[in-house]
Amino acid sequence: MIMKKFVVFSLLLLAMYGCGSFEKKEAPEVKRYELKYKYYKELIIRYPLLSVMGDYLIVSSSMERDTLCHFYAIDRNMEEVASYGRLGQGPGEFIQPVLTYTDGDEFAMNDLNHNVLAIIGVTEKDGGLDIRERIRLKGEYKPKKGELVPRDIMYTKIGDSHFVSKLEAGEGRFFNLLDSALVPIYSFGESPIKEEIDSYVSGNRLQGEMHVYKNKVFFGTSDLPYLASYTLRDGKMEKDWSLYYDTPHYAVSNGDVKFSRESSKGPLFSLQADDNYIYLLYRDGLLWDIEAGKSGRYSDEILVFNHQGEKVACLKLDCNLSEIALDRKRHKLYGQALMPDDALVEFDLPKELWK
């Protein structure tokens, strides 16, 4: 009976969104590519995040007490050339850090616990890297009584003089646009679903991956096959489109979102973008298999969309990844692979996607 309810609900959703901003778009032709990895080295780092900054790959993790960021020289066979940061409360130290963006010769660490964004400069000097903190910006928001985390997280630079952040508290909005001093200008974004749900539920069930590229924000929910695009124009965020790229299977009951054990797929692990395409590391399997311990949190498939929201390619990988980073200069994709231990691998992107 439960299965029937989810099936009927999914059909209703498709009919409901057929003509609106949630229109399910399908590219007329989806090209499929099989990519083979190049193995670099074992990653003895817990829960790493990957980011490309010029000629270097940064592997960061908030779970490593003594070294938060490792710098690998891409053109020197991924030789580790520098490191930065540690857990603590002194200079160059953080309590709950996440690397949120790279831009030219700098990268940023968002200390979630203190609602602070540290902007750190990187310069080449005497054959090595000189890494120094340039400024720390303090978010304006102060947690209300009973809140465990600040409202704004994942501060990320957009354009030349703005930042965007994800809103943890929900309240019907998903992002903040902020000025260069992290002062909020206004909230934007909309829920992937039309039903009303509790703000706490929105901040948990409907969260996902946000990626900022130049003046664009791309957002994909982790547990729903939903993708949205926003663009910063003349100091304002404008919605480009939003869509379901696969059939959603969920129901809303007592202000909460429930996902079907038999039908809901995912999750989305990582999201990247370049001038023409959006790359989603998405698991085309049942969500319940992960919750039940039948599958790990990884995928061997990347979905590729153009900036109009049309699916144009599917990249089939010969290993499982849990995180990806795009190297736009070299037309490569780096990933954290399970082999069976964590390892750093590289893929050449199909020429059709960059030439």
Give the tokens for residue 105: 């010769």
Q: Which CATH architecture fits 2-35+139-353?
A: 6 Propeller (2.120)
Contact 125, 133 (CB under 8 A): no
- Summarize the confidence of residues 125-131 as an average pLDDT: 91
The pLDDT, as a whole number, for residue 26 is: 53
Tokens 């692979």, residue located: 337
Question: How do 342-348 and 250-253 pair as beta strands?
Answer: unpaired
pLDDT of residue 19: 35
pLDDT band at 7 (very low <50, low <70, confident <90, very high): very low
- Tally Cβ neighbours within 10 Å of residue 29: 9
Residue 12 is predicted with a pLDDT of 41
At residue 337, the 3 state secondary structure works out as strand
Q: DSSP labels for 21-37? A: TT-----S--EEEEE--
* CA–CA gap between residue 72 and residue 82 (Å, rounded): 7
Checking if the pLDDT of 21 tops 80, the result is no
> In this predicted structure, what is the pLDDT of residue 244?
96
**pLDDT tens digits, 218-255:** 999 999 999 999 999 999 999 999 999 999 999 998 88
Residue spans of the domains in the chain: they are 2-35+139-353
**Cross-strand pairs, 271:** 280
In the prediction, which pLDDT does 11 show? 38
Q: Rounded to whole angstroms, how far apart are CA atoms 65 and 86?
A: 6
User: Given this model, what pLDDT does residue 59 score?
Assistant: 95
d(CA 68, CA 64) in angstroms, rounded, equals: 6
Structure-model confidence comparison of residues 73 and 197, the more confident one:
73
| Least confident stretch, 195-204, 220-229, 265-274 | 195-204
Interatomic CA distance for residues 325 and 45, integer angstroms: 16
Helix (H) or strand (E) holding 135: strand 128-138
What is the model's pLDDT at position 275? 96
Q: Is the pLDDT of residue 27 over 60?
A: no
Within 13 Å and on the Cβ side, how many CA atoms surround 147? 18
Backbone angles phi, psi at 310, to 5 degrees: -95, 130
Calculate what percentage of the chain has a pLDDT beyond 90: 63
CA 141, distance to chain mean position in Å, is: 23
Highest mean pLDDT among 25-34, 98-107, 252-261: 98-107
The mean of the pLDDT values for the chain is 87
What's the average model confidence in pLDDT over 126-143? Answer: 87
Does the pLDDT at position 185 exceed 80?
Answer: yes
Q: Is the pLDDT of residue 142 over 70?
A: no
Rounded percentage of the chain residues whose pLDDT exceeds 70: 87
The arithmetic mean of pLDDT across residues 257-263, rounded, is 90
Kindly report, residue by residue over 276-323, the tens digit of the pLDDT.
999 999 999 998 888 877 788 899 999 999 999 999 999 999 999 999
